[in-house]
Amino acid sequence: MSPATTKVASSLPASDVLIIGGGAAGMSLALRVAEHAQVTILSKSSLKQGSTYYAQGGIAAVLDPQDTLAAHVEDTLVAGAGLCHRDAVEYTVSRAREAIEWLIAQGVHFTQEHASQNDVPGNYHLTQEGGHSHRRVIHAADATGKAIFESLAAQVLAHPNIRLITNRVAIDLLTGAKLGRPEQGCLGAYVLEEDSGQVLTLPARFTVLATGGASKVYLYTSNPDSASGDGIAMAWRAGCRVANMEFNQFHPTCLYHTQDRTFLISEALRGEGALLRLPDGTRFMPHYHPLAELAPRDIVARAIDAEMKKTGCDCVYLDITHKSPAFIQEHFPTIHARCLKLGLDICTQPIPVVPAAHYSCGGVMVDQHGETDIKGLYAIGETSFTGLHGANRMASNSLLECFVYAFAAAEHINAQLTRIAPTDELPHWDDSQVRDSDEDVVITHNWDEIRRFMWDYVGIVRTSKRLQRARNRIALLQKEIQEYYSNYRVTTPLLELRNLAVVAQLIIESAIARKESRGLHYSLDYPNLAEKAEDTILVPPNFRG
């Protein structure tokens, strides 16, 4: 469907800044530019449905005088297995304290220390997670994301220059190149209004993709349903390069329970001494890494996967029963309450866990300001590739990245507001050649097939044969999906399926291109490290350079 004037569609009022996605990154940027600009935050469901609200762990930052920025940088580089960009790591780590102080000023109540650590600024409790050599993760009990979300959302909802639009789904970006105006960059987006089925044009001087990651491309994931890779897929179709899409982090410990298969068991439990055990009670992590349970996530996830395949067990167990009930309930109230509701008392019983797709380390390529290959289009948070995470994200660096690059993008946008002219009138969506679908079962079937073969063929352990099977399957599905998209009116499930298919293809092609095992990409056919560590960069056919 090409844009053309039609009486059916209409436009929403133009914005100075359009932010697609309302998580930590999107809300932070909105608050940093709203003093100077009219901002629209577009959320495809309620704000609570994003990943931020469900984040348990915390934010990595050097706050203890015994810790150093150099140590945080080194830990990140080690976890990233040679692929982190040192400049991005140093830039992010050096701005962590500023991010924490800003969040505190927004009203985020981080957990206070009651006994020791009186030398920590603000007397905040710091925990230690996998890959970290020091306690440097500041948190709000085990519901850090919820605390951040509630504080930022309150500020966003109260700000007169921020317009929040929920239950609208971005379809595609509008660019000058698409409209025959090559000198112009991103001009806004087409948006589906779910209730009416109407497609609206939303013009903007600057557009920011803050849509989160793409872990919903896998059958088992800790992510909410919204994590369908929308921003990555839209940016790719618009002509942006993506990088390192093969590095999908599988969180080692997702709750294994018939009634709840997406609840994450925070790495902070292992930071406070929880042990991984086989069903017979035997520990196994000391055989895989000197740091045992505190090894980087890729190593822990592969170890669990290997033990499950070796023993035939359905899950392993995370045991923190050696800690007192008072300690557990104070530090992990959310996990304790959620498990108790399911009939599991973590004070007396080990927690059944399995690995699950959790985080996309790759994404849309951006510079230090968060700007993509297209002028006026930014990507921040999990949608982006900054170079921070390398081949494996270190625990609690993700929320940190959200704030640091949201601040950087906001500063860059603010500096240009007086120089970028308002967006001209844009063409409406043309849906005159499509009809309502009577075959929605196709969407459900294709969605399920993608997630299943991605889990089986492009999961924690990969082979060349499995990847080739996945490539063949996604090619066929892409044709089916495009045919469906061309003939029927768009719906949210169709748009998410279309985006998932794009992301799956990018992951598969990136994995095929990497002829080694590094970080989160482990291939039985190429088990060794390559001599030179290089990013996997995919270039779309319409890339303009």
Q: Is 86 a catalytic residue?
A: no
Burial-class residue 115 by CB neighbours within 10 Å (0-12, 13-18, 19+): exposed
From the candidates 136, 297, 302, 518, give the one annotated as an active-site residue. 297
Instruction: Give the integer Cα–Cα distance in Å for 380 and 26.
Output: 8
Other C-beta atoms within 10 Å of 387: how many? 23
* Sheet with strand 59-60: strands edge to edge: 59-60, 137-138, 126-127
DSSP string, 221-259: BSS-TT-S-HHHHHHHHHT--EE-TT-EEEEEEEE--TT
At residue 526, the 3 state secondary structure works out as coil
Residues 6+ apart with CB under 8 A from 529: 82, 516, 517, 518
Residue 327, both tokens = 């300690």
> Which residues, in sequence order, are CB contacts of 61 under 8 Å at separation 6+?
72, 96, 97, 99, 100, 136, 137, 138, 400
Pairwise CA distance, residues 432 & 78, whole Å: 54
**CB-count exposure of residue 489 (10 Å: 0-12, 13-18, 19+):** middle
C-alpha to C-alpha distance for 534 and 251, rounded to whole angstroms: 24
Find out whether 32 and 410 touch, Cβ atoms under 8 Å.
yes
Beta bridge partners of residue 382, listed in sequence order: none
How far from the centroid of its chain's Cα atoms is residue 273's Cα?
Answer: 27
So which residues are the catalytic ones?
297
